[in-house]
Amino acid sequence: MIEVWGIPLDGVMWYCVGGGSFFAGGGLLAACMLGAVFASKIWHNFLIYFGVVISAFFIYMAAMPFSNLFYTLWALIIFGGLLGIHFKSKKKIPVNIIVIGITLIAIFSELPDYLTPTISSEGYNRLFVVGDSISDGIGTEDERTWPKIMVEEGFEVIDVSRAGATSLTAVKRQIHRVSDDKGIVILEIGGNDALMGTPYDEYEKALREILSKVLTEQHTVIMLEVPVLPWHIEYGRILRKTAKEFDVSLVPKKFLAGIFSAKGATLDLAHLSPKGHELMARKILLLIR
């Protein structure tokens, strides 16, 4: 558990990396810039500066996979708006309106990717699970992982997940075990790539190989987006780009973040507890049914 002055911050962290803070931060930023148009006192300006700093932190921590160029231009225009407020420039109104416009464009362009997609899985009773320790667990023989719970729910589960797996090891050791039989393929892979620093080109190549193998007429492929920290944002960009190129259902990162943020759902912020596996199974069931 992460604590500051005795206050648990696990939920805040997962809320941020799950993407929710992007919309809260964007809304706060737009409100601050709109308020700056009518600000008339010094303390108004201080409130606006404070609000912009908080909103920038929320947006940054969400690590939404926009390009670096977009983030740079957005930051420069915000900075220009703040300068206009500080020096009481007559140009502050049009600049603030531009900031609000860009912010709203960013929010509405990201919203479709934040919503959980509709999965067409009627008639499928077989699950192929390609994943890492989130699916495989911590390695104890009696561990009741979420794929095992899915078996209890009546599914035939071919679980090829492995603790410590990356996209590269999935190509070498896992995807060959995904048969051509009709079923749902759940790809829960990529978190260890970010943690271990898999080179970006190798990560993208491996994702393409995985999708090329499992994407057949007999399979419905579901990819779970990995919550990443801002300094791992490039992995998020590659994952989004590859999923769209192969036209597979990408479940937004709020899905995994919501599980990990639940009280008692993890053992160490990286591995699911028995309660976490139960929650994961329930959410997978809701997703595919």
Average pLDDT over residues 148-172: 94
| Residue 91 pLDDT | 61
Both 273 and 138 in one domain: the answer is yes
Give the pLDDT score at 40.
Answer: 66
Tens digit of each residue's pLDDT (9 = 90 or more) over 262-279: 888 888 878 899 999 999
Q: Which of 114, 145, 177 is the last residue of a domain?
A: 114
CATH code for position 242: 3.40.50.1110
pLDDT digits (tens, 9 = 90+) for 75-130: 999 988 888 777 776 666 788 889 999 999 999 999 999 988 888 767 788 999 99
In the chain, the N- to C-terminal Cα span, in Å, equals: 33
Q: Is 205 exposed, middle or buried (0-12, 13-18, 19+ CB in 10 A)?
A: middle
pLDDT attached to residue 209: 96
Residues 239 and 263 in one domain: yes
Shared domain check, 105 and 130: no
Q: Please report, as a single letter, which amino acid is at residue 24.
A: A
- Where residue 59 falls (left for φ over 0; alpha for ψ -120 to 50; beta otherwise) is alpha
Q: What is the pLDDT of residue 89?
A: 63
Q: Give yes or no for a contact between 245 and 228, defined as CB atoms under 8 angstroms apart.
A: no
Residues 178 and 104 in one domain: no
Do 262 and 213 fall into the same domain?
Answer: yes
Domain boundary residue among 92, 114, 136?
Answer: 114
Mean pLDDT of the chain: 89
Do the Cβ atoms of 210 and 130 come closer than 8 Å?
yes
Residue 103 and residue 226 share a domain: no
Instruction: Indicate whether 15 and 149 sit together in one domain.
Output: no
Task: Choose one of 90, 114, 138: the last residue of a domain.
Answer: 114
Asked whether the predicted pLDDT for residue 51 surpasses 70, the reply is yes
- At residue 7, the pLDDT reads 46
Which residues 6+ apart lie within 8 Å of 144 measured at CB?
274, 277
Q: How many folded domains does the chain comprise?
A: 2
CA distances from 264 to 133, 149, 182, 258 (A): 17, 18, 35, 12
Q: Looking at the structure, do residues 132 and 101 belong to the same domain, yes or no?
A: no
108 and 135 part of one domain:
no
Supply the pLDDT for residue 150: 95
For residue 46, pLDDT over 90 is answered with no
Closest CA to 253 of 218, 274, 228: 228
Determine, yes or no, domain membership for 134. yes
Among 249, 242, 224, smallest CA distance to 112 is for: 249
Q: What is the pLDDT of residue 61?
A: 94
Is the same domain home to 130 and 83?
A: no
pLDDT at 45: 78
Q: Is residue 121 part of a domain?
A: no
Q: Are residues 141 and 257 in the same domain?
A: yes
Kind and range of the H or E element at 131?
Answer: strand 126-131
Q: Do 60 and 97 have their domain in common?
A: yes
Range of the domain at 203: 126-288
Q: Where do we find the tokens 């890492």?
A: 132
